[in-house]
């Protein structure tokens, strides 16, 4: 395991322990609203601090981009951190959330960790090495028929991104033309589930770079495709994402081309 990935795993496990401990005392957490349907708690901040502490212990010169504390430092190596992806689930006692850590070197994602502390599942990847779940290699599903595909999504929830009509139109098409749609509520896990063959594709709008950084590399290293809704590579900037197995990705993009155009307009 690469040294950077090893540190990312250590940090993710430490943050996962923080989340697990706080999940047992949700009624005692201090919770603040950052925006419409956007919350932060003591658990988010404590988990993020644990991650940054481990990174700085090993690589004090590296830069950090974290959901709660923002950007810090200047370096060719940037750690992109979401200490708690699935905060709303977490605060409601729904055990579907994760820690996401991506390592970007010279503008390219090189290492990734997504850790689910409730199931103790560790997804990892390094560029060119492949993706693993608990150190076992994973690949996207072999499903080639859209009608048999299980698709993941996330509902638009920020006020600035509430283009509900074209999203609901797209959702209707997907429901009618696939085996089903799931909305777990943690985008990093959704991408890992596509990588592991549990889902065949995933789309969402209005995400942040820390929601996507680690999961995007894990998915690609597992043989999947990920892009913006427009097919471009700027999804970390736009937050609009379409991902899946090669065949299901293309089928979904074709099926929903009109709705995607409306969402992006």
218 touches 188 (CB < 8 A)? no
The string over 16-42, giving b where at least 16 C-beta atoms fall within 10 Å of a residue's C-beta and e elsewhere, is bebbeebbeeeeeeeeeeeeeeeebbe
Q: How many CB atoms lie within 10 A of CB 108?
A: 9
Distance between CA 207 and CA 33 in Å, rounded? 17
| Predicted local confidence at residue 35, as pLDDT | 61
126, two tokens: 């390094």
**Six-digit token string for 2:** 């690469």
Q: Which spans in the chain are helix H? A: 3-23, 42-58, 87-91, 164-177, 187-195, 209-221, 235-238, 246-255, 257-264
List domains and CATH numbers for the chain. Answer: 3-137 (3.30.540.10), 146-264 (3.40.190.80)
User: In whole angstroms, what is the distance from residue 180 CA to residue 20 CA?
Assistant: 31
Q: Per residue of the chain (265 residues), what is the pLDDT tens digit?
A: 799 999 999 999 999 999 999 999 988 888 777 665 566 788 999 999 999 999 999 999 999 999 888 888 899 999 999 999 999 999 999 999 999 999 999 999 999 999 999 999 999 999 999 999 999 999 999 999 999 999 999 987 664 455 688 899 999 999 999 999 999 999 999 999 999 999 999 999 989 999 999 999 999 999 999 999 999 999 999 999 999 999 999 999 999 999 899 888 8
CA distance 56 to 235: 28
Q: What is the CA radius of gyration of the chain?
A: 17
DSSP string, 179-204: SEEE--S-HHHHHHHHHTTS-SEEEE
The tokens for 117 are: 């502390």
Instruction: Give the per-residue pLDDT at 34.
Output: 65
Distance CA 229, CA 136 (A): 31
Predicted local distance difference test score (pLDDT) of residue 158: 60
Question: What is the C-alpha to C-alpha distance for residues 73 and 256, in angstroms, rounded to an integer?
Answer: 41
The Cα 94–Cα 72 span in angstroms is 32
d(Cα 80, Cα 101) in Å, to the nearest integer?
6
pLDDT number for residue 67: 85
Closest CA to 104 of 30, 213, 192, 222: 213
Angle between helical axes of 257-264 and 164-177 (0-180°, round to 10): 160
């Amino acid at each position: 395991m690469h040294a950077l990935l090893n540190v990312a795993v250590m940090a993710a496990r430490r943050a996962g322990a923080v989340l697990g401990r706080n999940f047992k005392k949700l009624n005692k957490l201090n919770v603040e609203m950052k925006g419409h349907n956007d919350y932060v708690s003591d658990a988010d901040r404590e988990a993020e601090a644990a991650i940054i502490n481990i990174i700085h212990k090993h690589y004090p010169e590296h830069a950090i981009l974290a959901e709660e504390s923002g950007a810090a430092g200047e370096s060719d190596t940037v750690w992109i951190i979401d200490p708690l992806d699935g905060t709303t689930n977490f605060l409601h006692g729904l055990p579907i959330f994760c820690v996401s850590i991506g390592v970007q070197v010279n503008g390219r994602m090189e290492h990734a960790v997504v850790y689910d502390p409730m199931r103790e599942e560790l997804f990892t990847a390094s560029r060119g090495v492949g993706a693993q779940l608990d150190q076992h290699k994973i690949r996207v599903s072999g499903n080639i028929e859209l009608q048999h595909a299980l698709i993941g999504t996330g509902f638009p929830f920020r006020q600035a991104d509430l283009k509900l009509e074209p999203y609901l139109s797209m959702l209707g098409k997907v429901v009618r033309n696939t085996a089903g749609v799931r909305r777990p509520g943690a985008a990093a896990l959704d991408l890992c589930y596509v990588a592991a063959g549990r889902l065949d594709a995933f789309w969402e709008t209005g995400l942040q770079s820390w929601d996507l950084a680690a999961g995007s590399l894990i998915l690609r290293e597992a043989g999947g495709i990920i892009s913006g809704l427009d097919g471009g590579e700027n999804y970390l900037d736009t937050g609009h994402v379409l991902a899946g197995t090669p065949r299901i990705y293309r089928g979904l993009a074709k099926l929903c081309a009109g709705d995607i155009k409306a969402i992006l307009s």
